Amino acid sequence: MSGRARGRARGMARSPVATEVGRLFPSLRSSPPSIALIDNEASSSSDCARTSRISQKCKCGISSSDSGCTSKERGGKVRRDVMDLSVCTREKLTHVRDCKTGSSGIPVKLVTNLFNLDVPQDWQLYQYHVTYSPDIESRRLRIALLYSHRELSNKAKAFDGVILFLSQKLEEKVTELSSETQRGKTVKMTITLTRELPASSPVCIQVFNIIFKKILKKLSMYQIGRNFYKPSEPVEIPQHKLSLWPGFAVSVSHFESKLLLSADVSYKILRNETVLEFMTDLCHKSSVSCFTQTCEKQLIGLIVLTRYNNKTYRIDDIDWSVKPTHTFRKRDGAEITYVDYYKQQYDITLSDLNQPVLVSLLKNKKNDNSEAQMAHLIPELCFLTGMPGQATSDFQLMKAVAKETRLDPLVRQQHLARLADDFQRNKDARFELETWGLHFGCQMSLTGRIAPAEKIIMQDHICHPASAADWSKDIRTCKVLSARSLNKWLVICSNRAESVTENFLNCLRRVGSPMGFNVDHPKIIKVQENPAAFIHAIQKYVKYEVQLVMCILPSIQTSYYDSIKKYLSSDCPVPSQCVRAQTLNKQGMMLSVTTKIAMQMICKLGGELWAVEIPLKSLMVVGINVCKDAFSQGTMVVGFVASINPRITRWFSRCILQRTTAHVADCLKVFMIGALNRWYRNNHGLPARIIVYRDGVGDGQLQTLVDYEVPQLLSSVTEASSNTSPTLSVIVVRKKGMPRFLAETGRNLQNPPLGTVVDSEATRPKWYDFYLISQVACRGTVNPTYYNVIYDDNGLKPDHMQRLTFKLCHLYYNWMGLISIPAPCQYARKLTFLVAQSLHKEPSLELANSLFYL
Amino acid sequence: MECSSVVDGNVEEVPSKKVIKFNPPLYKQRYQFVKNLVEQHQPKKVADLGCGDVCLLAILKYQKCIEELVGVDINEGRLKWNGSRLSPCVGDHLDPRELDLAITLYHGSVLEKDCRLLGFDLAACIELIEHFDSEDLAKFPEVVFGYMSPAMIVISTPNSEFNSLFPCAVFRDSDHKFEWSRMQFQTWALDVASRYNYSVEFTGVGEPPTGAEDVGYCTQIGVFRKKAEAAEMAVLEHHGEHVYEVVYTTSYPSLQQINYRRRVVIYLVYREVSRLRRKYQVSLRQDELEAEFVASGNQTGKFTSGLPVPVLTEDDKAMEMAPQPFCIEDKFYVPLQRIIAYPRLGHLCGNVEKLREFLGDMIELNCDGSAVKVDLNDCSDF
């Protein structure tokens, strides 16, 4: 793309018409980033190699500043997660309107990561609207003029260019001030009181968040994304070229009865590697013929950070035809080479004059139809960010990062204590809090309850596991509930893996018989080491009566796994089991590896492993998960897994791809009716109760869920039967909550015991919600799972709802122990993951009765 | 790259009424002028008196030679609000400067003496003096030339002769107390210069349009240089008061700071070692890869020729002399002598002892501490 073309694109984006529209309809605010932190924009001052030009007319008349424009649209926007908080679901649930807390279980004292934030009883926030005469577009100038005015200089204030918040009321309802620009032009500012807000208002919450952002900046932290990081104390992992910046995620919010600040330790992963270095390395590593393709494949889509300002860009393309010695047109119209530009602007000398340029499409904030704008970036001046692409498979790297970032409870607490100390001791921080009339209080403690341990029911044995975290040892010699024998099956392996395979088959038979799983000798097919050979063998040998296909894969290359799964999940639906040859080679691990594989195979054949005691006699539990497809951006994958027997050991699994970007499921009615039919066939009646656990909910979607998904489920339930239809509960499950709970044991702090429930103080007043810790964190601090009951016809007591949820966390057959979310959710998660990562199409309905995706 | 805010804060620079437009805009030309002076004279300590929106400081902070940058202004709110523009960015931490840089913004009047403004190499007073009434103007030389007495002072002010080209004949700015002709400015400047023992040269920015060359530059500039070097400097040092209030202060990470230097050294060593190891691995598989490797040399030249080639050729001369990397069993060793021969590391560490000290326990050495030891086959390379 030529400089001229880019110039055109830019010109259109800045057309006066677009600006006017923004001004005429300030109420038509689209999606929300929060009220900006006012001194946010300040660092974006210096210009960079913008390859375009703005017309002079634009520059003076209707100033062209992006920031000016957004400021008009900005005021009073509410963050998505804050939006959720205003959805009142509890008031409709009569049985918990007065009390939503349970009482059973052993009490346990817990320390939280929540801090009291005290606000005087009569505290109010005053919201003003500010207009300028003559009007000024530039947000920075608007703010600068207001801030430099004597009248306001000593007051606590937050201002985004349009809306001004003060903690003290101005004398007059309308105040007129006049200020002079640096160049002496007089500007009149009219400040009109529009609202007086109590501390509980959502707008106040946002202002509190802005205040704390300001304070964190004053503590020399850097904002990257939503969180703040300390560059002064980096953790270096030089062998992987990574720097970890410690920092905090901080947010102020209204919890059950008061305003609290939650703070959690967070690490930002930065890479000490420029894009040029990365390219050079890649060039040495990869073969030449495909260098450009490899490069594009690895780089496009990554986020880079520029050397000379704090901006991040997404790499959308690489322009191999443009070199640093080429020229571009600056905003003022002058032609300059990239080399000269960076020398002049930033005193940076480029070392490689042959590097290509990276192309980034700039987001069009105004959402009009103009062409996207592009920026050219020099690889040498761009740092890579985030984890390297192949990192997740690089065990050493993951281990190194985990070692530094997974803080155990005590260390985490020390970090938090230091932050709290900074808030209280730092002069600027204290001043800021005081001028607003806020008081940063102490860390909150509360009492949780520990649900009793569960028994694991096997075929002819009930076992009390020594640890609920892992009962693999306890059930080693027990028969599983039911297992079909495996008579007709295939094993496909490479020539090299022959002996490994034989070993494994022997072991499988040995492991299988005490479990009650009979395995006959399979037909073994030896093939060449390439994905096509595997698929070819499968196509040739898999016939209808084959019960299961096992593939011993020679490498972790996803192409094997993806193509095999794709073929055997939809084109020719047969349960399949893929194992890496390397996994079967681990000495001393053979027994446990084989046991796990055997269990997966039993499930894939439709067997049941274990159960827990479920007091409700006719209960169906459902897990729903929604996630994005890995390839096509506009596609969502919806997974639905429902239990189809009262014991909750057999499952019906459906998955669909949905063409939309919203994390909202469309097809729940079809799925629910399908599950109810299946239940009816198996149990000759409908379930009395249905409890749906909904996972994969994004911020700001709660209202949509209530308005859109719950009715779908309800209508399918009521239509299912003419007389008494099942009663329904819908629970939103979230794993990424802010609160953390730590148990005090003497002087030490530990993760709370399994089964710890918290249903007070850290919860929300408008919701029927609770936290449950149902997993162990072997390293680091456990993250409690958050449950929000948004619909509940079942009227179970909170105690029972909590206990039942805990029981369901025991039923995930891929792990002989407790997991962090209810089993149906985890099944749905596993299913959507398989579809989103490997299949990219719907699995066949024929497999719906088995856990084929384990 | 976003640069939307360039015009912000300077919107009024180009009122639509004016017939004459400068390209680049006049205010940018003034900043450019100061920047050029900095590039030419390489001052270490630079002050911007009347720094306003800190635009000039934000430009100068990229100059490698500057170690101390100070802004003074009477508008506190504006300084507070703009301060964060000067803070180091994430990249400054990842790739630190060579020299230290401290930036401080003071709230105060240029007409007051503060000893923290002593000993500067350059003081810029851009479009400042015309805002002084006659009383202040009289005080100004005594403070800036007499007291602060920096090695170089640059003063810019409007040239009133140029105003005849503008449609309205009043001052360019309502706060201007005067606008001088070239004669008036030069008379004042020469007088001040002679009183405080400075030399002065006159120039300007904003070329007049063709046909009106006789009006001179739109902005006239005087560059003052101190004649006798600082005999009395020592006397003045740190005797005065601290009158100004610090509104903002920051310091940049730099290679002068041992933790940053150490970090950079470690990353460079890792890079260099893995480069050598890769070379070694390639040579092991030579037969297999020879054809391809030769080809790669040509092909990659298309974009990285600039990088590997100078690194290799320049280094190789020095490095041929240095001990070569070697391999024992599955370990690969690079002698520290070889690493230090790499110019950048040589520059950062000076000698092998220092290098060893930097590496500390971050990088494993062989038993006598003379070479870096790594696994020959590191999975991350594949």
Partner-chain residue, chosen from B6, B62, B362, that has the shortest CB–CB distance to A47 = B6
Tell me the residues of chain A between 192 and 221 that have a Cβ less than 8 Å away from chain B. 217
CA angle A302, A304, A306 (to 5 degrees): 165
B377 touches chain A (CB under 8 A): no
Q: Tell whether B285 and B171 lie within a shared domain.
A: no
| A183:B58 CB<8 A | no
Phi, psi of A19, deg, nearest 5: -65, -45
Phi, psi of A510, deg, nearest 5: -65, -45
What pairs with residue B221 in β-bridges?
B156, B203
Shortest CA distance from A359: residue in chain B? B1
B302 touches chain A (CB under 8 A): yes
Residue A504 near residue A588, CB atoms below 8 Å = no
User: Is residue B272 in a domain?
Assistant: yes
User: Is residue B17 in a domain?
Assistant: yes
Partner-chain residue, chosen from A65, A148, A397, that has the shortest CB–CB distance to B380 = A397
Q: What is the pTM of this model?
A: 0.79
Rounded distance between C-alpha atoms, residue A769 and residue A762, angstroms: 10
pLDDT of the residue at A382: 92
Residue B159 near residue B188, CB atoms below 8 Å = no
Phi, psi of A83, deg, nearest 5: -55, -45
Closest approach of A151 to chain B, Cα-based (Å): 11
Residue B110 near residue B136, CB atoms below 8 Å = no
Q: Tell whether B213 and B273 lie within a shared domain.
A: no
Shortest CA distance from B96: residue in chain A? A307
Tell me the residues of chain B between 206 and 245 that have a Cβ less than 8 Å away from chain A. none
Residue A468 near residue A775, CB atoms below 8 Å = no
User: Which one of A181, A315, A341 makes the best mutation probe of the B interface by having the most chain B beta carbons within 10 Å?
Assistant: A181
- Indicate the residue among B232, B252, B272 that finishes a domain: B252
A834 touches chain B (CB under 8 A): no
Shortest CA distance from A310: residue in chain B? B89
Which of A186, A304, A852 minimizes the C-alpha distance to A549?
Answer: A852
Q: What is the pLDDT of residues B95-113, one digit of tens each?
A: 899 999 999 999 999 999 9
| B380:A56 CB<8 A | no
Non-local (6+) Cβ contacts of B126 within 8 A are: B30, B31, B34, B48, B50, B56, B154, B156
Q: Tell whether B313 and B232 lie within a shared domain.
A: no
pLDDT of the residue at B2: 35
Query: What is the ipTM score, two decimals?
Result: 0.79
Closest approach of B13 to chain A, Cα-based (Å): 8
Closest approach of A627 to chain B, Cα-based (Å): 30
- Classify residue A160 as exposed, middle or buried by CB count within 10 Å of its CB (0-12, 13-18, 19+): buried
CATH number corresponding to A483-605 = 3.40.50.2300
Q: Please, where are the H alpha helices in A304-436?
A: 338-346, 395-405, 409-425, 427-436
Q: How far is CA A727 from CA A682, A691, A704, in A?
A: 19, 8, 21
Q: Tell whether B262 and B336 lie within a shared domain.
A: yes
pLDDT of the residue at B338: 87
Shortest CA distance from A353: residue in chain B? B306
Residue A686 near residue A716, CB atoms below 8 Å = no
pLDDT of the residue at A825: 96
Partner-chain residue, chosen from A305, A320, A332, that has the shortest CB–CB distance to B90 = A305
User: Which one of B303, B311, B372 makes the best mutation probe of the A interface by having the most chain A beta carbons within 10 Å?
Assistant: B303
| A396:B379 CB<8 A | yes
CATH number corresponding to A612-737+784-844 = 3.30.420.10
With cut-offs at 50, 70 and 90, classify the pLDDT of residue B153.
Answer: very high
Residue A827 near residue A649, CB atoms below 8 Å = no
In this prediction, residues B295-316 reach a mean pLDDT of 45
DSSP-derived letter for residue A608 is B
Axis-axis angle for helices A427-436, A202-218 (nearest 10): 160
Residues of B in contact with A276 (CB under 8 A): 304, 307
A619 touches chain B (CB under 8 A): no
Domain chopping of chain A, boundaries: 124-197, 271-393, 483-605, 612-737+784-844
The structural domain count of chain B equals 2
User: Tell me, what amino acid is at A686?
Assistant: L
A288 touches chain B (CB under 8 A): yes
Q: Tell whether B195 and B263 lie within a shared domain.
A: no
Non-local (6+) Cβ contacts of A559 within 8 A are: A531
A658 touches chain B (CB under 8 A): no
Residues of chain A falling short of pLDDT 50: 1-76
| A375:B296 CB<8 A | no
Task: Locate A394 and state its tokens.
Answer: 């690089």
Strand ranges (DSSP E) for A169-211? 174-180, 186-198
Q: Tell whether B43 and B166 lie within a shared domain.
A: yes
Partner-chain residue, chosen from A285, A331, A383, that has the shortest CB–CB distance to B94 = A383
pLDDT of the residue at A23: 30
Q: Please, where are the H alpha helices in chain B?
A: 26-41, 55-60, 76-82, 90-94, 134-141, 182-195, 233-236, 258-284, 286-304, 308-321, 336-340, 343-349, 352-359
A50 touches chain B (CB under 8 A): yes
User: Is residue B382 in a domain?
Assistant: no
User: Tell me, what amino acid is at A6?
Assistant: R
Closest approach of A400 to chain B, Cα-based (Å): 13
pLDDT of the residue at A509: 92
- Indicate the residue among B252, B275, B303 that finishes a domain: B252
User: Is residue B345 in a domain?
Assistant: yes
Q: Tell whether B204 and B266 lie within a shared domain.
A: no
Residues of B in contact with A47 (CB under 8 A): 1, 3, 6
Closest approach of B7 to chain A, Cα-based (Å): 7
Q: Pick the more confident residue, A110 or B318.
A: A110
Closest approach of A550 to chain B, Cα-based (Å): 28
What percentage of chain B has pLDDT greater than the value 70? 81
Rounded distance between C-alpha atoms, residue B117 and residue B146, angstroms: 12
| B303:A355 CB<8 A | yes
Closest approach of B259 to chain A, Cα-based (Å): 10
Residues of A in contact with B267 (CB under 8 A): 238, 241, 272
| A270:B271 CB<8 A | no
- Indicate the residue among B226, B252, B278 that finishes a domain: B252
Q: How far is CA A473 from CA A595, A601, A807, in A?
A: 11, 19, 20
| A332:B25 CB<8 A | yes
Residues of B in contact with A44 (CB under 8 A): 2, 4-5
Q: How far is CA A158 from CA A568, A721, B247, in A?
A: 59, 57, 19
| A45:B270 CB<8 A | no
> Could you tell me the residue range of the domain that residue B266 belongs to?
258-375
| B89:A238 CB<8 A | no
Tell me the residues of chain B between 345 and 364 that have a Cβ less than 8 Å away from chain A. 362-363
Rounded distance between C-alpha atoms, residue A821 and residue A811, angstroms: 10
B325 pLDDT exceeds 70? yes
B58 touches chain A (CB under 8 A): yes
A290 touches chain B (CB under 8 A): no
Q: Tell whether B282 and B194 lie within a shared domain.
A: no
Residue A467 near residue A128, CB atoms below 8 Å = no
Q: Tell whether B229 and B106 lie within a shared domain.
A: yes
Closest approach of A632 to chain B, Cα-based (Å): 28
Residue B38 near residue B101, CB atoms below 8 Å = no
Give the CA dihedral A432, A436, A440, A444, nearest 10 degrees. -140
Partner-chain residue, chosen from B11, B87, B174, that has the shortest CB–CB distance to A186 = B174
Which CATH architecture does the domain made up of A271-393 adopt?
Answer: Beta Complex (2.170)
Size of the A and B interface in Cβ pairs below 8 Å: 233
Residues of B in contact with A141 (CB under 8 A): 8-9, 11
